[in-house]
Amino acid sequence: MNRFDGQTAIVSGAARGIGRAIAERLASEGATVAVADIDANGIEGVASDIGGSSFAVATDVAEPDSVAVLHNEVINRTGRLDVLVNAAAIVPFVPWDDLTFKEWRRVMRVNLDGIYLMCRAASDIMRPKQYGRIVNIASNSIFAGTPNMAHYVAAKGGVLTFTRSLATEIGGDKITVNAVCPGLTDTEGVQESPHKDMFNFVDMLQAIKGTGTPADIVPAVCFLASGEAHWITGQALAVDAGMIRH
């Protein structure tokens, strides 16, 4: 399929994990991808690997000036923006008794403030063109109330409700806004945290047994980012092997 021929997409958090897998798929289906992440070295490698006209832009999604530089670079290079996928996030492991306000703000800054800043900049570009697809990566933890990450769950819950509200705000401009809610996924970040020990427990809760990988999340994201999903907006799609059934 070449669902994104001639289109430009921004994928944040694209240096590794789910973000990288999404960037790779969008590029393989014809998109020019702005590979965005705070990890400058990582995104240079991703952009080189996916080839074509895709390019890397080092970006701190929680810094307004950095977000502006990213979007300006996209317009200068391609003249358009069709798809935004917000995958950048911090995934912490902090028990409630150890959760300080400083740590709370560290996660909120990236996981929720960053979503606002990216959607603000992208939608301002999309609205005059009367077309756009925004896909925010939330988490099935917002339905499960996962422990040891209250600030993460709160931020991702905010992503879901913000998604619904923004969909209402800009639906008249033919821009869709949806959220994908992955379950526990085998990424580099998870393997570097205590969450890596939870796969067996999560497997017991899933309708479909097995360990989720970034490749399992990508098809849902790319469908919602495509023209085929023009009649779907303000929705949350759990992609978690049926762990959450709602």
Across 21-47, average pLDDT: 97
User: Which pLDDT score is estimated for 108?
Assistant: 98
Task: Kindly state the helix (H) or strand (E) to which residue 50 belongs, with its residue range.
Answer: helix 40-50
User: Which pLDDT score is estimated for 190?
Assistant: 82
User: Which pLDDT score is estimated for 193?
Assistant: 81
- State the Cα–Cα distance between residues 132 and 233, nearest whole angstrom: 11
Does residue 103 contact residue 94 with C-beta atoms inside 8 Å? yes
Look at residue 246 and tell me whether its pLDDT is greater than 80.
no
Look at residue 13 and tell me whether its pLDDT is greater than 90.
yes
What is the pTM (predicted TM-score) of this model? Answer: 0.96
Dihedral, 72, 78, 84, 89 alpha carbons, nearest 10: -60
pLDDT tens digits along 113-157: 999 999 999 999 999 999 999 999 999 999 999 999 999 999 999
114-126 and 64-78 helices, crossing angle to 10°: 30
User: Which pLDDT score is estimated for 74?
Assistant: 98
Phi and psi for 230 in degrees, rounded to 5?
A: -65, -20
User: Which pLDDT score is estimated for 78?
Assistant: 98
Query: Of 151, 178, 152, whose CA–CA distance to 164 is shortest?
Result: 178
| Catalytic positions | 152
User: Which pLDDT score is estimated for 18?
Assistant: 97
User: Which pLDDT score is estimated for 194?
Assistant: 86
Look at residue 8 and tell me whether its pLDDT is greater than 80.
yes
Half-sphere exposure of 209 (CA within 13 A, CB side): 3
Fold of 8-239: Rossmann fold (3.40.50)
Query: Of 143, 142, 136, 141, whose CA–CA distance to 115 is shortest?
Result: 136
pLDDT tens digits along 48-106: 999 999 999 999 999 999 999 999 999 999 999 999 999 999 999 999 999 999 999 99
